[in-house]
Amino acid sequence: MKRVLILLLLACATSSFAQVKFARLFSDHVVLQRQKPIPVWGWAKPGEKVKVTLAGQAMEAKADPAGKWRVNFKPLEAGGPHSLQASAKSGNAAVNDVLIGEVWLCSGQSNMEWPVSAAKNYEDERKNADFPQIRHFRVDHVVTLQPEQDLAAGEWKVANSENVGGFTAVGFFFAREIYQKLNVPIGILHSSWGGSQIEGWISKEAMLSNDELRSYAQNLPKTWEEADAIMDKKLKKHLFKSATYDPTWEDEKKYISPDVDFTSWQKTADGVGQWDWKGLMGFRGKGYMAKEVGIASDWVAKQTTLSLAENDGLVEVYVNGKPVYEGAVKGSRKIQLPANTWKEGKNILTIKTSSMASAAWFGPGFTGSANEMFVEDGSRKISLAKDWYLMPAFAEKHEYAHLMNNVGTTIYNAMIVPLLPFAIRGSLWYQGESNAGRAYQYRQSFPLMINDWRKLWNDEFSFYWVQLSSYGIDHDSNKGSNWAELREAQNMTLSLPKTGMAVTTDVGDPNNIHPTNKQDVAHRLATNALKNDYGQNIPYASPLYDQMQVDGSKAVISFKNAENGLMIKDRHGYLKGFEVAGDDKVFHYAKAEIQGNKVVVSSPKVSKPAAVRYAWADAPEDANLYSVDGFPASPFRTDSWPGITVNARFE
């Protein structure tokens, strides 16, 4: 009897799994692309005939041996709501409130993922977010070693004050402008992952076609155990400059010594936050944190309080090699240290932490507020928030979280393949921060990904991206800039057809890699679409370097997209951000003057210009050249001298 019951349960489970269904993307409130063939797919019993209807069209398909079926509806004009229905012997499925309009795939890393709730003027935006014909589908973060057939979760949400906070800010503000200009439904298909490198978004097949990435693709791990071993070697190579070095228990005992050598440790500006974002991506296990603490002579004989932020796992604390605390508690810690724990001058504070007990995904380290990191004597306080060193405990049991940058292709497998071949008008891309260290290689990887996606969709759809904004230091060209080199790679990718770029160096934040002004970013993307996809006769693009001519001691720079002229946009009234060099390749800040749609650059220190650069820095705060149409000029250089990332490669 028991065996019969088990067989019945298995039969029911199989029957339920085999019932006709749509792919996850085809759910209530979906927006389908107008004016293009509309592919619709799903699953049923192998070999089963399926009838699918939409807006008066009826199509039939037969499920393949894996149970997958697909139909292609003829192009439709904007409208709705419609009902999408599938019927077969195994059952029926229906999708309601289907609109036909414009669909844009929004992808990249954190600045694309950045939600409306964290954007500038959120409260005002939320109050004015009632756009029932704008819908948003967010693809969950997943990585897999093999291509996935369907998404495990996700739903289309209608834009309103309740939902809009979770929408991609760039995507929503773009969609809103397009909707207000065209008055047709807009679908935002959002698949992005903060911190992701571009290599995660490229297919294995595309990598195999590229000389730079072929070797990597040929050696992709087949299991997550293999992937963890690769991550372990990469992290050891990063820290110890040797992928084969395996520290022992005895080696790691030295980490608590007052004479510890921090040469191999990971330096971080602050002691609070996930180690994933401090250069130790994915490590899960125990780890050491250490820093130097300067103590005045009159503190030595006093009892002090050591305050630490939150980690509810086991924490051990050592001062100058001596254990002073061990325990696991919830919340921040206030540890009473007896007199003479510290010595006058330099002390070494070392903390060994486990992964958090209540949030194992967090890993080792501390969460909470940096203000909780201090030592005090009752009336005075020394902050411990900054300047820490980190070291994983490799000799103890550890593993790696399956994150976006562990293995190339894995985001593509799980977050792009299930979207194929959902019809779209085009794609918006905001990524590059995580690839700035390999900017030269981005010249290949970025166009490779664009061509890869277009091939997979069998559609040369429009592809527009955001050029890296301003973040970091405003160095001169003599020191170089990997962010400037990444922007250059983005400029070069404009050679592909049906591409466009939003220049955003003027709306960034040198102190925050996530500038909150996503409205201007989205507007500059929208002008590309309104001009190139929707035929509106509007200015749409930033001035781009075209050519340089030398006239004696002056360099004359010509620009594309400056037909109506150039202008200065700041209160000072003179151009800034230009540098010039002679054959010695030494750059000097230069005088620059606008003459129509050209800029004349010179310096008394350079008698014969060989190269000019503009806004060539991580954060070119002083750059102020615009077109008369109001678009900032893209950073550029006229030379092709080797940059600082020329030898960096993806591993």
Per domain, the residue ranges of the chain are 1-220+407-542+638-651, 245-400, 545-633
DSSP reduced 3-state for 89: coil
Strand partners for 466? 502
pLDDT of residue 15: 39
Torsion of CA 462, 634, 120, 512, to 10 degrees: 120
Length of the chain: 651
pLDDT of residue 18: 74
CA dist., res. 636 & res. 613, Å (int): 6
3-state secondary structure 520-585: HHHHHHHHHHHHHCCCCCCCCCCCEEEEEEEECCEEEEEEECCCCCEEECCCCCCCCCEEEECCCC
CA dist., res. 524 & res. 631, Å (int): 8
Residues 429 and 171: beta-carbon distance below 8 Å: no
CA dist., res. 501 & res. 525, Å (int): 7
Residues 73 and 40: beta-carbon distance below 8 Å: yes
pLDDT of residue 223: 97
pLDDT of residue 5: 42
pLDDT of residue 268: 96
3-state secondary structure 362-408: HCCCEECCHHHCEEECCCCEEECCEEEEEEECCCCCCEECCCCCCCC
CA dist., res. 453 & res. 434, Å (int): 20
Six-digit token pair at 362? 């967090």
CA dist., res. 381 & res. 376, Å (int): 4
pLDDT of residue 571: 85
Q: Which residues contact 189 (CB under 8 A, 6 or more apart)?
A: 25, 103, 104, 105, 106, 137, 139, 419, 422, 424
Torsion of CA 24, 27, 30, 33, to 10 degrees: 50
Alpha-carbon separation of residue 244 from 230, 392, 648 (angstroms): 11, 15, 21
DSSP reduced 3-state for 9: helix
| Pairing verdict, β 499-502 and 462-466 | parallel
CA dist., res. 482 & res. 486, Å (int): 6
CA dist., res. 234 & res. 231, Å (int): 5
pLDDT of residue 9: 39
- Closest of 468, 577, 465, 571 to residue 515, by C-alpha: 468
CA dist., res. 622 & res. 628, Å (int): 18
Q: Which residues contact 639 (CB under 8 A, 6 or more apart)?
A: 581, 610, 611, 613
CATH T-level topology, domain 245-400:
Jelly Rolls (2.60.120)
pLDDT of residue 474: 85
- DSSP assignment of 192-256, as one string? E-TT--GGGGS-HHHHHT-TTTHHHHHT--SSHHHHHHHHHHHHHHHHHS-TT----HHHHHGGG
CA dist., res. 217 & res. 343, Å (int): 54
Instruction: Tell me phi and psi for residue 236, to 5 degrees.
Output: -65, -40
Q: Which residues of 455-485 are buried (b: 16+ CB within 10 A; e: fewer)?
A: ebbebebbbbbbbbbbbbebbebeebbbbbb
Residue 565 region, left (φ>0) first, then alpha (ψ -120 to 50), else beta? left
Quick: pLDDT tens for 533-551.
Answer: 999 999 999 999 999 999 9
CA dist., res. 107 & res. 427, Å (int): 7
Q: Which residues of 339-373 are buried (b: 16+ CB within 10 A; e: fewer)?
A: eebbeeeebbbbbbbbbbeeeeebbbbbbeebebb
Q: Which residues of 515-546 are buried (b: 16+ CB within 10 A; e: fewer)?
A: bebbbbbbbbbbbbbbbbbeeeeeebbbbbbe
DSSP reduced 3-state for 349: strand
Cβ-based burial of 486 (10 A; exposed 0-12, middle 13-18, buried ≥19): buried
Alpha-carbon separation of residue 437 from 271, 447, 482, 483 (angstroms): 24, 18, 6, 8
Which residue type does 163 have?
N
The residue whose two tokens read 């976006």 is 404
pLDDT of residue 396: 96
CATH superfamily label, 1-220+407-542+638-651: SGNH hydrolase (3.40.50.1110)
Quick: pLDDT tens for 490-531.
Answer: 999 999 999 999 999 999 999 999 999 999 999 999 999 999
CA dist., res. 266 & res. 290, Å (int): 10
Query: CA 155 from chain center: how many Å?
Result: 22
Quick: pLDDT tens for 163-200.
Answer: 999 999 999 999 999 999 999 999 999 999 999 999 99
pTM of the full structure: 0.93
Residues 613 and 588: beta-carbon distance below 8 Å: no
Tell me which residues of the chain have a pLDDT lower than 50: 1-17
